[in-house]
């Protein structure tokens, strides 16, 4: 199967998990009714994006929010890229973690954010995830009935090595739950997705929270899909909503054949490998 329908949920972030579960269930039902194959949630969809909140909202793998996402995927028979949620590991560390569930509700991927968002832009945004979060250490890909996909989280996508590793592992599409802000969003959001797509000849699906008046962290929104030629296939504005995009994964094969960047790498003069 080459064609896949992807629904992006640009949703508000609630401080109440009951509200979050109700919202997701209703949104996924709506997307499933419109024949979506894969539903995407944003970064920290169940936790207001503040470093002090991450330990407070954190759950272990298999706990409440994980179970809710697994059950929803199974109930509606869809793949669910369940944005990210704060995960508490067995040794007490907190991670920014993305889970993916298949049509049976089985977890088929888990990615812990590898590059922590520690920035201080003069006259703009300051944020330091490392105050409460630990970093993951993998490039993550997973297999579906449509082929091999990759997943990374927001700031991860700025680092070209990680995207290239996923492409070299066979990914033709990369999911990116993200929450760019009002400093970085206008400057780099579309530019980053287009550049990573064209450099690695992949589709990229960036799903963000909607912008919420009064929130301490203002999301840029603008959930986006870019193609292997670097074109914007679809892009939302900042408001709450759902967008469904149908893509043909054969486009990645066509672009890679006509412009064989991955084949023409000079591995005799440079190398890139994931350290096991």
What number of other Cβ atoms are within 10 A of residue 167's Cβ? 25
Active-site residue flag, 90? no
Determine which one of 110, 154, 172, 238 is catalytic.
Answer: 154
Active-site residue flag, 154? yes
Fill in the DSSP letter of residue 155.
G
C-beta separation of 24 from 267 below 8 A: no
CA 132 vs CA 14, 19, 60, 82, 245: distances in Å: 20, 25, 16, 21, 35
What number of other Cβ atoms are within 10 A of residue 122's Cβ? 6
Active-site residue flag, 246? no
CA distance 72 to 26: 10
For residue 50, count CB atoms less than 10 angstroms from its CB and return exposed for 0-12, middle for 13-18, buried for 19 or more.
middle
Fill in the DSSP letter of residue 76.
H
Q: How far apart are the first and last CA of the chain?
A: 32
CA distance 254 to 57: 44
Determine which one of 113, 129, 152, 238 is catalytic.
Answer: 113
Determine which one of 21, 43, 59, 129 is catalytic.
Answer: 43
Sequence-distant (≥ 6) Cβ neighbours of residue 122 within 8 angstroms = none
265 φ, ψ (degrees, to nearest 5): -60, 140
CA distance 276 to 271: 15
Residues with active-site annotation: 43, 113, 154
């Amino acid at each position: 199967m080459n064609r896949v329908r992807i629904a992006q949920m640009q949703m508000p972030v609630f401080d109440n998990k009951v509200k979050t579960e109700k919202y997701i269930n209703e949104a996924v039902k709506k997307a499933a009714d419109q024949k979506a194959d894969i539903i995407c949630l944003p970064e920290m969809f169940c936790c207001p994006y503040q470093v002090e909140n991450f330990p407070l909202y954190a759950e272990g793998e298999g706990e409440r929010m994980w179970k809710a996402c697994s059950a929803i995927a199974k109930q509606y028979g869809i793949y669910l890229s369940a944005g990210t949620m704060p995960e508490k590991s067995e040794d007490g560390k907190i991670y920014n973690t993305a889970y993916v569930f298949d049509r049976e509700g089985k977890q088929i991927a888990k990615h812990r954010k590898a590059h922590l968002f520690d920035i201080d832009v003069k006259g703009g945004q300051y944020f330091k995830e490392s105050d409460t979060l630990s970093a993951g250490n993998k490039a993550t890909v997973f297999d579906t009935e449509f082929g091999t996909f990759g997943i990374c989280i927001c700031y991860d996508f700025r680092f070209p090595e990680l995207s290239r590793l996923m492409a070299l592992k066979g990914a033709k599409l990369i999911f990116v739950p993200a929450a760019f802000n009002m400093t970085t969003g206008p400057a780099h959001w579309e530019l980053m997705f287009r550049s990573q797509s064209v450099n690695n000849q992949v589709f990229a699906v960036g799903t963000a929270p909607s912008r919420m008046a009064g929130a301490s962290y203002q999301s840029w929104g603008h959930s986006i899909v870019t193609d292997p030629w670097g074109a914007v296939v679809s892009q939302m504005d900042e408001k709450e909503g759902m967008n469904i995009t149908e893509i043909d994964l054969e486009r990645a094969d066509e672009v890679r054949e006509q412009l064989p960047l991955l084949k023409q790498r000079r591995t005799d003069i440079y190398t890139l490998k994931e350290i096991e």
